[in-house]
Amino acid sequence: MEIVIKKDYEQMSRFAAEYIASFIRKKPNCVIGFATGSTPIGTYRELIRMHKNGLDFSNVIAFNLDEYLGLGMDLSKPYSQDQSYHRFMFEELFNHINIKKENIHIPDGLTNNPDEFCKAYEDAIKEAGGIDLQILGIGGDGHWAFNEPGSSFESRTRIEKLSEQTIDDNYEAFYKNAGFSRDEMPHYAITMGIGTILEARNLLMLVNGYKKADIVAKALEGPVTNQITASAIQIYKGVATVVLDEEAASRLVHGDRHHYKSVNI
Ligand code: PGA
């Protein structure tokens, strides 16, 4: 695992975008696992800027980590009434780059048959040759995607009940601003499993801000536990790069922060 500490959110985002762009330049048809949430927005803005300067997404294949159950690509709703991750991805990235629609895969929270859908999603990842680079954040409860505390490290794409903390966090970050009540927030999601994520060939985990400092220190340096599913990074066999801003890195204790800094910057 390589830990990169950047001064602030902007520098973290720039580094992450450059890292992703280098994959695309090396392998134009690479398979990228995209993440949602407030953390990657800056990275996606940078990627859009790079696209305007020539970065070509026309052969990139995208698989998103998760989607709320009951939400999906519902074009009948205006954006203001739709907090789906479909909307998020199109609004924050896909509408602004030249990725082909047929290359975009996001779990369909509107499916009538979630079990079948989840199996087909796993099959589609395999058919695409597996994920070359999976982008990840970390939830306030330590989750990767919507793999809430207690999820098996062997878990696959499935329906997961959101933890109370995730509901609170995502309500504050998204739903409240859009004028929804907490009860209107979905309590279930379709999510790639930890087992699915651990099969990606490279991981890029992004974390910013003091509010994540404790949980990311536990995930990276504490015991490996399914109570903090992002701690699975410690048993990951591929190439994992963690990019933190100074605030998020402020509670790393076991490893010397100066060591992380000196080897990575
Ligand atoms: P956030 O969410 O980027 O909005 O903090 C991260 C996550 O839940 O994984």
The set of protein residues with a Cβ atom below 6 angstroms from ligand 1 is 37-39, 137-139, 173
Give the DSSP H or E segment for 99: none
Tell me what percent of the residues of the chain surpass a pLDDT of 70.
Answer: 94
The secondary structure of 162-192 as a DSSP string is PPHHHHHHHIIIIITTTT--GGGS-SEEEE-
Is 105 assigned a catalytic role?
no
Ligand 1, pocket-test mutation among 92, 138, 151, 228, most atoms within 8 A of CB: 138
Collapsing DSSP to helix, strand or coil, 215 comes out as: helix
Tell me what percent of the residues of the chain surpass a pLDDT of 90.
Answer: 87
Domain extent listing, the chain:
8-205
pLDDT at 253 over 90: no
CA of 39 to the centre of ligand 1 (A): 6
Residue range 120-156, pLDDT digits in tens: 999 999 999 999 999 999 999 999 999 999 999 999 9
Residue range 41-97, pLDDT digits in tens: 999 999 999 999 999 999 999 999 999 999 987 777 766 678 999 999 999 999 999
Q: pLDDT at position 265, please?
A: 40
Higher pLDDT pick, 96 / 174: 96
What pTM, to 2 d.p., does this model score?
0.95
| CATH T-level assignment (fold) for domain 8-205 | Rossmann fold (3.40.50)
Is 2 assigned a catalytic role?
no
CA of 142 to the centre of ligand 1 (A): 10
The Cα 173–Cα 143 span in angstroms is 16
CA of 139 to the centre of ligand 1 (A): 5
